[in-house]
Each structure stands twice: as C-alpha cells, then as structure tokens.
Structure 1
Amino acid sequence: MKLGAVLPTCEIGSDPLALRDWAQAAESLGFSHIVTYDHVLGAEHAGREPAFWGPYTEHDDFHEPFVLFGYLAGVTSTIEFETGIIILPQRQAALVAKQAAEVDVLSGGRFRLGVGSGWNYIEYESLGADWERRGALLDDQIAVIRALWDNDVIDYASEFHRIDRAGIQPRPARRIPIWFGGYTPAALRRAARLGDGFTFGDSGPDTVALADRLRELLAEQGRDPAGFALEGEANFGIGPERWTALVDESRSAGFSHFSINCQSTTCEWGGNPAANLQSTAEHIAALETFISSVR
C-alpha cells in the first residue's frame, strides 16, 4: 500500500520555504504522494439559505493546487502529486486539461488528477458556474479533458462545450490518471463509468462498504474491480493505535493508497480530535510519527 500525506494547506502558511521543507520531508520519509485540497474561495457561513455546512470559511488558506504542484515539482524528485479533489465543474475543462498537463510535464509524470463536484454553492456562483447542473457538466468535462490530452487537435461539440479544431501543447506524455472523490451514490456511479481510481476522505467499516459497492458498480460496467485504485484517509488526531488498525483494515480490503491528514480544521469538523500542530517542524514530526507507526 502506498502512503500519502495531505498538505495542511489551512495551517502551513504562505512561506514558500515552509512548503518546500514539508514536501521534501515527506519525500525523504518515504511517502509516495502528496494530496492537496481545492477551494478557490472561502465564504462566510452565517445567514445562508440553504445552510452553509462545510468545514472551511473565509479565514482558511488554500494554496491553488496546480500552481502549488508546479512549484513542488521543482523542489522534489520522486514524490507524486494528487488533487484530492479539484472541484471540476466550477472550472473550465480546457484550462484544467492544460494545467494538469503542465504539472505532469514539469514533474516528469508524477501527477494524478482527482476531481469531484464539491459542496460549496457560493463558490460556484462566484465563479459563474451552474450548481444545479454540475453532475452532467462534470461527465462532459472528463470527455473533453481526455480528448485534449490524447489529440493534437480536437473538434468537439456538446451541450456544454464547443472546441473548433483546437488543442493544447504541450500535451502529457501519457493519459494522466483521473480519480474521483465523494460519498454519494452518484459519485460512485460516475467513478465506475469514467474513473481510474477513487479517493475517500475517510476510512473504516463505512468506507470499506462504499468501496465494496463501487466494486459492484465497476463489475456492472464490465470493468475489472481488481485494476481500480482506492485510497483511504485518516486524521492524525485519532492516534497511532487507530491509524495502524485503519491502515491494516484498508490494506485487507484491497485499498492501494492511504493518506494521513494532520490538519486540525478538517479533523475537528469530522468529529475527530484535533492534531493541534502549530509549526512546520511539528507537521513534519507528525509525518514521521505516522509513517514509523504504520510501516
């Protein structure tokens, strides 16, 4: 099983040297990949209808994933990069295809594009995207992105896109893996039809049950579930005994990847103990504690 580290984007700050040090530490400790979350905008929660329920507010820092990974590609050598997840329907498909290709080119093929539909309807509105039709748009975006990666020029027409004999350069040397994320039946069905893998933001019996359901959906699509990658995640605040149990359970359930999230904001929102890590050095020490516990 490959072990990953979630970038503590809300807590690590904006010092590029801190980001470099954290990423290089993760690489030197033997982590296979870095995961980062995506929000373009944070919004105030109070006074919203419908209620605004997500864990992040206007006060939380979010490094832009493609720019971040372009930077980290230049200060690392082997560690892979995963968006967990890019909220695809609020972004332009052709631009995402271009940005993802650039990260993959600059990193030497170390990029994995994780996508999903998200939960932040304020962000959709602010970016001029259609919240109500995000699922149908996401499906079409996957087709557009893969066509742009695979061909020098495409002529593509659909309800959502028109690309008239155009393409992106440079194109990636391979078709970048596209993973999906989420918890809903729609997310699982979409992944079974279109995905190369699935990243769950949690682990445990409920997550294993969702993975089993995803395997059933893959079989219904005529796809081999054994070749489909799965990733679980744990919060640092639950402690080493629980980490080890969850990693072992995920490995036994056939998961290929597992990541540790040391970010207190996410931990507390999910009802887990906060990691309470303050400095970059403390976040690096937490990575070392985790990987030495579960190897």
Structure 2
Amino acid sequence: MTSNAPTFGLWYDFRNPAQWRQPLGALYRDSIDQAVWAEQLGFGSAWLSEHHFAEDDYASSPLTVAAALGARTTTMRIGTNIVVAGLHEPVRLAEDAAALSLMSGGRFDLGVGLGYREAEFTAFGRRVKQRPSLLEDSIAVIRQAWSGSTEPFEGKRFAYPGLPVTPLPEVTPRLLIGAQSEPGIDRAARVGDGVITLSNDHCQVYLDAVRRHGGNLDEARIYASQWAIVAEDPERVWAQISDHVLYQLNKYIEWGSFEGPNQPSQFADAQAVLDAGAYRLMDASMAVDELVTLATTYPQIRDFHYWAQYPGESVESGSARIQYLADKVIPEVTRKLADRP
C-alpha cells in the first residue's frame, strides 16, 4: 500500500446565478488563476463538473477548461467530476482525453458518470432510462480506443468499425467513475480505475465491491469529494456564504441529483442544511482529525477535494478558505500521515 498522503483538490462548476450575477468571462479567468495559485500553495488537483442548458450557466465544456488548466499548471492533476458520458460520442471523448493527457504530460484523469437530468438526455437525443448501458458502452469504447485496437466494437448503444483511434496517449488517463448509489459504486469497482465519492460513508461500500469483484485492494483508488466548510471561524463564514450553499443544494435536488426513495425535499433554509448533515462546519483541528482518520482507515483515498467557491460567491471569498486549507490543514494532514506506522 502506498504511504503517500492524499492530494488536496479544488472543484469547479462556474455557476453564475441571476441573483448574484457577475461577468462570466472574468469568473472563468479568475478561477483558473486561482487554481494556478492554489497549485503553488500545495493543492494537487482540480476537478471540473458538467451540466447543460442551465439557467445559471453551469459549466458545459469542462474539457476545454481542463486544457487551459493543463497549460497553466505543472504538477496539479486535472480531472472531471464528472463528464456525463451518455451525452457524448465516446470516440470523441476518448480522443479529447488523449489530447489532454498528451498536453499535460499525463496529468489528466477522465471522471465519468451516469448523469440524471432528463432534459439533457432528451436534448442530445438520448433516453435517460438507458443511462447504465450508455455509460458502460462508453467506458468500453474509450478503453478500446486508448488501447490502439483495430477490432470492431459492437455494444448495446454504440457500434464502430475496426478503425484505430489516433493519436494514442503516452500516459493512459485513469478512467474514474463518479457514483453515489450502491449499483453505481459496484460499477466503479467492476469497470473503473477508481471511484469519485460524494460521501465518505461510501468508502467502505466501494472497497467491499472491489473485494467482491476480485480486485486488488492495494490498487483501489478513492477520490473523495468533501461537503464541508473549513475555516478558522466556520460559523461566521457560514453566515456569509450559506445562501450560496443553500442555492447549490436546492438546485441539485430540483434537477433530480438525489435518486431513490430517500430523495430529500428542498431545504427550507440554511439551518436545515446543517441539521440534515448535508454540510458540516469545521475548523482546522476538526478537519485534520477527520481527514487523517479517513486516510488511515482507507489508504485507498488518493484525493480530498472541496468546492473552490459556491454559486454566486466571489472568487476572493473562496480563496480565503483555500488559503486556510493550505496554511492549517494540508501540511498538518501530510505531516501526521507521514508519521504513521
């Protein structure tokens, strides 16, 4: 098992809600500048999300942003959390990911997932109920494309002649799968190079699935999205940004992100978010204790990442939390994990 500490990362969606509208070009440019700065502070990853036809300008072109980040950074890994694979032509997705790997020196990870927003599938001529087969076919096509195979592909949703996809990546991107349901986590263990989790409770679910499929636990990879506000005075920061967080969660609920019988209703106010445990408030010592415990219990965790800023929040406001993580959390977690047996 690797003894390296997990990297820390930032997560971007570039939302720009009407009630907090800001110049969108500046938001993109300033956020990329922020990620470049964060690399200098010790952050090791940046993650980019995807949605389409969103009234709040949710980022629809994460691979383009990934290319810009790859050109501006030197050590930071750049990943998608996530690309909705079923909305894309998978050969083109494989080609774009290969180009990103080549340009970045092998620092790109392709995170894919099912998606859930019916309007997106309808607009792209896909059926939302076919999401599982669209995703599994896409993964198979992408893997075959990166292998240089000249074999034809015949799947449930896609078919291609025996033509090699070129150019091949010099470093094959990791193909990660974002999942929050047990079937999705099982799929990540079965056909992915790792899982992107939305809850730390899912770490054990994933490892159980890896074991069930005969995988090597030493090679399992968990990329753990964190839903927490970490600050010197988290209650004060929460008072400043909670409306932005409330908007974020309620929009995900409105779009259908949380599936199944336990789908939450929209949160009435910011206190309801905390009461439900959807977000937690932490200072550095609390965050360090939790992250060290998680990384010790689950050494398969390769990355912890946090939202850089929330919908409508200024980049400067998000940067204050980034600085705090860099000063008080990252070095202490790294030191404590280096000292463990």
TM value normalised by structure 2: 0.72
Q: Which secondary structure state, in structure 2, belongs to the residue aligned with residue 105 of structure 1?
A: helix
- Which residue of structure 1 aligns with residue 25 of structure 2? 14
CA contact (8 A) 1:6 1:34 kept: yes
- Which residue of structure 2 aligns with residue 128 of structure 1? 125
Query: Out of 94, 102, 111, which is 1:97 matched to?
Result: 94
List alignment gaps of at least 5 residues for structure 1.
43-57, 266-275
Distance 1:221 1:284 in 2: 41
Higher deviation after alignment, 120-129 or 248-257 = 248-257
Q: How does 1:62-141 map to 2 (within 5 A)?
A: 62=59, 64-141=61-138
Show CA shifts across 1:11-36 (max 9, x none).
58322531331121121111111011
- Is 1:146 equivalent to 2:189 in the alignment? no
Show CA shifts across 1:11-62 (max 9, x none).
58322531331121121111111011111222xxxxxxxxxxxxxxx22431
Query: Out of 178, 183, 186, which is 1:181 matched to?
Result: 178
Q: In the TM superposition, what is the alpha-carbon distance from 1:120 to its structure 2 partner? A: 0.8
- Is 1:246 equivalent to 2:253 in the alignment? no
CA contact (8 A) 2:113 2:178 kept: yes
- Is 1:257 equivalent to 2:288 in the alignment? no
Pairwise CA RMSD: 2.0
Counterpart of 1:220, as a letter, is R
Counterpart of 2:307, as a letter, is N
Counterpart of 2:51, as a letter, is H
Higher deviation after alignment, 256-265 or 140-149 = 256-265
List alignment gaps of at least 5 residues for structure 2.
1-5, 17-21, 230-237, 239-280, 331-341
CA contact (8 A) 1:240 1:293 kept: no
Distance 1:213 1:201 in 2: 12
Q: Which secondary structure state, in structure 2, belongs to the residue aligned with residue 174 of structure 1?
A: coil
CA contact (8 A) 1:2 1:257 kept: yes
Query: Out of 150, 153, 176, which is 1:156 matched to?
Result: 153
- Which residue of structure 2 aligns with residue 27 of structure 1? 39
Is the radius of gyration larger for structure 1 or structure 2? Answer: 2
**Count, aligned residues:** 264
Distance 1:98 1:68 in 2: 16
Distance 2:141 2:323 in 1: 40
CA contact (8 A) 1:240 1:290 kept: no
Distance 1:221 1:283 in 2: 40
Counterpart of 2:32, as a letter, is R
CA contact (8 A) 2:98 2:172 kept: no
Higher deviation after alignment, 17-26 or 76-85 = 17-26
Q: Which secondary structure state, in structure 2, belongs to the residue aligned with residue 257 of structure 1?
A: strand
Counterpart of 2:78, as a letter, is F
Q: In the TM superposition, what is the alpha-carbon distance from 1:277 to its structure 2 partner? A: 3.8
Counterpart of 1:94, as a letter, is V
Counterpart of 2:163, as a letter, is A
- Which residue of structure 2 aligns with residue 217 of structure 1? 209
- Which residue of structure 1 aligns with residue 277 of structure 2? none
Counterpart of 2:325, as a letter, is F
Query: Out of 291, 312, 324, which is 1:289 matched to?
Result: 324
Higher deviation after alignment, 82-91 or 2-11 = 2-11
Q: In the TM superposition, what is the alpha-carbon distance from 1:163 to its structure 2 partner? A: 1.2
**Would the alpha carbon gap of residues 17 and 132 (structure 1) be closer, same or farther in structure 2, given more than 3 Å must change?**
closer
Q: Which has more helix, going by share of residues?
A: 2
Counterpart of 1:171, as a letter, is L
Which aligned runs of 4 or more in structure 1 are off by greater than 3 angstroms? Answer: none
Counterpart of 1:174, as a letter, is V
Distance 1:120 1:114 in 2: 18
**Percent identity, aligned pairs only?**
22
TM value normalised by structure 1: 0.83
Distance 2:46 2:170 in 1: 21
CA contact (8 A) 2:13 2:50 kept: no
Query: Out of 6, 9, 17, which is 1:4 matched to?
Result: 9
Counterpart of 2:224, as a letter, is G
Distance 1:142 1:180 in 2: 10
